[in-house]
Structure 1
Amino acid sequence: MKRLVAFLLCTVMVGATTVGCSNTESSSSGTTSQETESLASEDNTASIDISGQKIVVCTESGEAADGVGAQIDAFKEKYGCDVELVDIPADVYKTKIQTDLAAQSGSYDVIVGTCDFALQFKESGLLENLLDYSNNTALADPEYNVEDFIPVTIDRYYNDDRSYLCAYPFKSDVQIIFYRKDLMEDPEEQAAFKEKYGYDLEPAKSWQMYFDIAEFFTRPEDDFYGTALMMKRGCDQTSCNFYTRLLGTGQEMFEEIDGKYKPIINNENGVKVLQSFRDELVNYAVPGSDNFEYYEANQAFNDGRCMQVITWLGAYPTSQNEENSKVAGKVGAMACPGWEDGDKGGGMLGGWAVVLPADAQNKEAGYKFAEFCSSAEGEKLKVSSGCFPSRTSVLEDPDSEYPEYFPIVLEALEAGVAAPSWAEWNELNVTLTEYVSAAGTGVMEPQAALDECVEQWNSVLSEAGLLYEE
């Protein structure tokens, strides 16, 4: 309980700088939490009707809001339930929903948020157990198949004994590499590359090969570079990129020993990963990458200014849109490789989740929306927005919107690795982001940055009772 109270206080403090927005009206016709729990425990035979009700769904402006918006009409037609979409600007979204949830404002029936948001609140008691609803035969869709989700996209939302499920996957995401397929397949470029490096030019089979390709295609006189990096200070893309490359070395960030955790990033592998960012930023990256976040790095690639970029799945539709991209039709994609040729690769797993707040006004109708928006039917509706599927059946559908891309998506997701599911990970990630940025931009040496990061991590983990102490 001490850990939970401290976490909630921290969350509210983080939210103190948020820009407020007015609460939306919610229908009071839904059942209470006690009534829902009672219904869930009974063997109901009558179908629960949610027609005529109204739910409030909150998410972030942009891809997520576009994805939810693409589903609303079909949900209304199917269930006769109205949906009010509250989309909050990205720069204040996370703080706003964290503060509202911790304060039990009752503003939203459904929240679509990032995976780290769902995991932050997983053990807080502020999110409904979706199993209470999925086990209610009068409410749940018998065709809803949880086993169809790619395991890594849903497993983290369960507790250890799988008696509690805090979220359904809304949008799958994992780090992936985009490259210029037209240049990769150009005979003249292939011949020149092989003459210089002694092996064939092809999509990078290792991070070392990725750096060779970056070096080869860096041509400042043509305003063309090997890569674009998301290295803005304070941007959590830096820690995601760090974890992805670290996975390629064959290790993770922590060693688990007897149910406790020992940070191990300040070793030889961690140092060489950090050094690779510095080398890339100085030698191969589009100028200004030290101030790039997600949008700017992808824009540099779409503007035809670089050969490769480490990005996320949802960047693909924009890259293929001729109105917004100069490289439409010229983009290849691949799962992130291992450090050396033959090593196992992996990518930082991201994603978005749909949750039911414990203080929701219309929980049953909210659950039906959570169920619908994460169903195979619902997933297909939101693909064009960049909210990609988490279900194997949708990714393997030969009639999908992106039949050439989805097999790569499936491969990358299956190799994806999620960050820790502890509530404390948010604080640890903020710390990691600062030190990766500091080392990547040359403010600190890699070893010193990682040593200081681990020192701070040890303090947080010790306070939470998670640290392995020898």
Structure 2
Amino acid sequence: MRKILVLNLAFLSLLLMILTGCNSSSGDKDKSLHVLVEGGSPALEVAEKTAAEFEEQSGYKIVVDSVPYSGVYDKLKAEIDAGKATHDVAIIDVLWFPSLVDGLEPVDDVLSDEEQVDFLPKLEDGAIIENTLYGIPTWSNSKVLIYRKDLFADEKYKEEFEKEYGYELTVPTNWQEYLDVAEFFTRDGMYGTTVYGANMGDSVSSWLDHAAQAGAQPLVIDENNNVLIDQEPYVKSLEMLQELVNDESVPSETLAIAASETAELFNDGKLAMMLVWGHFYMSSSEELPDKVGVAPMIAGEKGIGAVPGPWYQVVLKDSNKKDVAKEYLKFMYEKNEEYMKSLGVASRASVFEKYEDDESYLHLNAINTTLEGSQTQNRPQISEWTQIENEVLAPMIQRVLSGADAQTELIEAKEQIEEIIGK
């Protein structure tokens, strides 16, 4: 009996050692943090560039998974729905928060109050749901006015414009000036500007820029789930875009144009102006040296307004390394300048200030002024937004730009949105 007892004790001790060793070995092997980003984006470049430093600082290796834009959302949604996080951290579009928030970890404790004060305007609002912060911003952006400053400085054009329109040729600051200048510079194989008509979110945000300028506030849906798009600011803004198309001040292929196509046309010398995401200034100024200027977004009746385009780093609630993941978010916020170097925008006001006087970053002042505009505001924080954008608003814009009546289309779109949200 004594021998059996000794053998049993020895067996139990051995088993305990094996189990302890397995756990220890498993923990040691899993010294990695999995980060999901959009492929080909600055998020990928910066994540890879900073990975070695974080590993040296924390002992955790950064494993970067890059997928196309829509794939980021699809992967995260699948992980959240399954309650199993393959990734620990992700960089997401502000639009996805309402759909993903149930699977995200609150990050109010990642940054100090002083660090959060350094957020650019509207950034904190975009990631707060029910008074809880769920994302640390990586960069913010807005559309601004980029123009051919050599054309605006040409004395011949100045004289012709004043004779035709009765006032001095200047960089547009409002709708009427923008319409006039677009019409004036549509000549000799060049167009004044573009209208975003591609069947995608870029066209929707561009239209909402102008709706905000005309007085829309909040955008599309209010806090009581009332759908607002049949109101005057939405009608006026669509009709303004329709006027540019009817005047033939924009290319005929409008229904295939968004930001990238606009920038390509401008860089090829086929546009006098473009309302485009601010970071495009850098590539345009390289393509057209000494010919490119930049100004804030134009104003409507109620002032300057635009829809920001921020991205955020988030932590998956089902990650088993949330503490390390939060440490990584703080580390990346300290490295925010890397996004400025890569993309030309960032999320920290202090980073903007550091670069705003640099000749290569003249777009920063224009973005900052636009973000501080009285009518600048985020899109609705509702889980159905992507469906509304893709199935209702983008197709509706295409029909209006093809000649349909704006008021009629907006009334029908309102009914479709109400059905989607169950109003």
TM-score class normalised by the smaller sequence: 0.7 to 0.9
Counterpart position of 2:243: 279
Residue 316 (structure 1) aligned with residue 281 (structure 2): yes
Deviation digits for residues 247-304 of structure 1 (CA, Å, limit 9, x no counterpart): 1112233474xx5132222233322221222232341112323112332121111211
TM-score (norm 1): 0.77
Q: Take 1:71 and 1:399, find their aligned partners in 2: how far apart are those partners?
A: 24
Q: Take 2:401 and 2:51, find their aligned partners in 1: how far apart are those partners?
A: 43
Indicate which of 295, 299, 303 corresponds to 1:344: 303
2:203–2:394 contact (8 Å) kept in structure 1: yes
1:228–1:301 contact (8 Å) kept in structure 2: no
1:29–1:362 contact (8 Å) kept in structure 2: no
Equivalent pairs counted in the alignment come to 392
Runs of 4+ in 1 over 6 A off after TM superposition: none
Counterpart position of 1:269: 233
Q: Take 1:177 and 1:99, find their aligned partners in 2: how far apart are those partners?
A: 39
Counterpart position of 1:156: 126
Shift of 1:422: 2.1
- Percent of aligned positions with the same letter in both sequences? 23
Distance 1:226 1:399, change over 3 A: closer
Q: Which amino acid aligns with 2:77?
A: Q
Equivalent positions of 1:135-150 (< 5 A) are 145-150=115-120
Counterpart position of 2:180: 212
Indicate which of 333, 346, 349 corresponds to 1:389: 346
Q: Which amino acid aligns with 1:405?
A: H
Q: Take 2:276 and 2:50, find their aligned partners in 1: how far apart are those partners?
A: 26
Counterpart position of 2:80: 101
1:172–1:387 contact (8 Å) kept in structure 2: no
Residue 71 (structure 1) aligned with residue 50 (structure 2): yes
Counterpart position of 1:127: 104
Q: What's the C-alpha RMSD, in Å, of the aligned pairs?
A: 2.6
Equivalent positions of 1:49-448 (< 5 A) are 53-63=31-41, 64-90=43-69, 92-122=71-101, 124=102, 126-131=103-108, 133-134=109-110, 145-160=115-130, 162=131, 164-219=132-187, 222-233=188-199, 235-252=200-217, 253-254=219-220, 256=222, 259-282=223-246, 283-321=248-286, 325=287, 327-340=288-301, 343-375=302-334, 378-386=335-343, 388-397=345-354, 402-415=360-373, 416-430=376-390, 431-442=392-403, 444-448=404-408
Gaps of 5+ in 1: 1-26, 31-50, 135-139
Distance 1:358 1:339, change over 3 A: same
Indicate which of 398, 410, 423 corresponds to 1:450: 410
Deviation digits for residues 140-192 of structure 1 (CA, Å, limit 9, x no counterpart): 7x6971111124111232234x3x21111111022222111221222222221
2:263–2:274 contact (8 Å) kept in structure 1: yes
Shift of 1:346: 0.5
Counterpart position of 1:36: none
Deviation digits for residues 414-463 of structure 1 (CA, Å, limit 9, x no counterpart): 22310111223223322212211221223x321221011111122233x2
2:197–2:203 contact (8 Å) kept in structure 1: yes
Shift of 1:77: 4.5
Greater Cα radius of gyration, structure 1 or 2 = 2
Q: Take 1:339 and 1:270, find their aligned partners in 2: how far apart are those partners?
A: 12
Shift of 1:57: 0.9
Deviation digits for residues 55-86 of structure 1 (CA, Å, limit 9, x no counterpart): 11111112232343343344344444321211
TM-score (norm 2): 0.85
